[in-house]
Structure 1
């Protein structure tokens, strides 16, 4: 079997009435759940600019004496130390056992920063979260002479959608505030000059919220060894957005609803100050 391309197109080893294929590109879809560990960052900073210092102010303190060079930033904590902190703080974010299993992975904060950067650019973050690969196979079926995505394929992502829908926004936002400075430093290791993690996270959320929710059948067409969307507008979505679309309308609503809920909570918090 062929592996899918980086743009998230569906493999088509042969065109038949029902085509089955393990969808490893689905890992990219699942990766978006990692975004919610930092949900609301951009809104927190926008609504309460005085509460959290700008990264540049936090990274390089002012010298105590004129003419002296600023102190160097202390080394980052080890991955093990950051993982231990996140596991402790996020243990209450969801009661679902699947979420607890995800937290056992290594290098959680760096994975999160990588996923945010990938999605903000519209790229698939599958390599950073290969542990979230869905079970089962992708299926397409013929209907009225057309190939459409079998709704059973969406069910493979139900656990991810349910976990995202179960996340406690208060726990996530408070955890992010605690590790935000570390996330910014990790982001700076690979980001272009002038880029901030806050702005990158905002772009990633825009990618998520721009995905259309489609309740009806979605037609796909064979293109060589791949399946692509018959609708040019859908095929023109970014790889990250197409991965979200392939989770199905119910799971997509859960994810987008979580983003909107967090935005509302953060706006209400800011208005009460």
Structure 2
């Protein structure tokens, strides 16, 4: 049999920053504890997504001190998150600057369905997007998914307990950073909840995924897939194995925190 024709395209809108949505998961578990205030009588089914609902605790307002410098916040984040994964790639991620501000920006982007690639361009994958012809159609070449395997592996290695405890320290800072650019009345808790929904709503597709050329790029042939938000399509293009790892980590965080709430 002849090898299938492989067509290579590298449009930035198609693949640049596909993996950056995974950063939401790097930190997503940190915020979940905030919105699990109610005790649960039964643990969730591990196969089901538990999407935490934002809470609105009644607390008296207090005067806010000046925000720490970016260098001070980075030092705190690095010292706390260093134990979240032993993989050297994760250590490389932590060497980036403005970690907490990037996190807040990415969560806001994904919650709105927008691409967060500018905030975490350091995670842009190498190589090019490839499609091959099969039965007269273009389908995504499996090797295109493999470009994101490192990110999927790192996300899968994360210790959610470390992430949660870290967020307990920096949650108030994240809320203040969020307010700098958020619409009036928006809370970071609610924005994080929407980001969770975006991640967990992406379909996992194990078979061939058909795409069609459109100018210098490809789009999904299935209108339902093409109608996904930019953030969701970024996750979808990471491939089923990496997407399962990311969604599984979100579910792990949710279950872990629901268990904690039920013991209170």
Whether TM exceeds 0.5 here: the answer is yes
Q: How does 1:155-234 map to 2 (within 5 A)?
A: 155-234=146-225
Whole-angstrom CA distance in 2 between matches of 1:165 and 1:21: 29
Q: Which residue of 1 aligns with 2:235?
A: 244
- Cα 1:242–1:212, aligned 2, differ >3 Å: closer, same or farther? same
Q: Which residue of 2 aligns with 1:88?
A: 79
Q: Which residue of 2 aligns with 1:13?
A: none
User: How far has the Cα of 1:222 moved from its partner?
Assistant: 1.4
Q: How does 1:45-194 map to 2 (within 5 A)?
A: 45-48=34-37, 57=59, 60-61=61-62, 71=63, 73-194=64-185
Whole-angstrom CA distance in 2 between matches of 1:24 and 1:80: 31
Whole-angstrom CA distance in 1 between matches of 2:69 and 2:217: 42
1:21 maps to 2:5: no
- Cα 1:37–1:217, aligned 2, differ >3 Å: closer, same or farther? closer
User: How far has the Cα of 1:24 moved from its partner?
Assistant: 4.1
SS in 2 for 1:216: coil
- After TM superposition, the score normalised by the length of structure 2 is 0.87
- After TM superposition, the score normalised by the length of structure 1 is 0.84
- Specify every segment of 5 or more residues in structure 1 that has no aligned partner in the other structure, as ranges: 1-15, 62-70
SS in 1 for 2:118: helix
SS in 1 for 2:204: coil
User: How far has the Cα of 1:137 moved from its partner?
Assistant: 1.3
Q: In terms of Rg, which structure is larger?
A: 1
Higher relative contact order, chain-length normalized (CA < 8 Å, sep 6+) = 2
SS in 1 for 2:202: coil
Whole-angstrom CA distance in 1 between matches of 2:253 and 2:78: 21
- Cα 1:41–1:93, aligned 2, differ >3 Å: closer, same or farther? closer
1:34 maps to 2:23: yes
Instruction: Indicate if the aligned counterparts of 2:9 and 2:217 stay in contact, CA closer than 8 A.
Output: no
Instruction: Indicate if the aligned counterparts of 1:111 and 1:128 stay in contact, CA closer than 8 A.
Output: yes
* Aligned CA-pair RMSD: 2.1
| 4+ residue segments displaced more than 6 Å | none
CA deviation map 1:140-175 (0-9, x unaligned): 000000000000100000000000000000000000
SS in 1 for 2:212: strand
SS in 2 for 1:126: coil
Number of aligned residue pairs: give it. 245
Instruction: Indicate if the aligned counterparts of 1:41 and 1:201 stay in contact, CA closer than 8 A.
Output: no
Instruction: Indicate if the aligned counterparts of 1:164 and 1:255 stay in contact, CA closer than 8 A.
Output: yes
Whole-angstrom CA distance in 2 between matches of 1:244 and 1:220: 16
- Cα 1:133–1:124, aligned 2, differ >3 Å: closer, same or farther? same
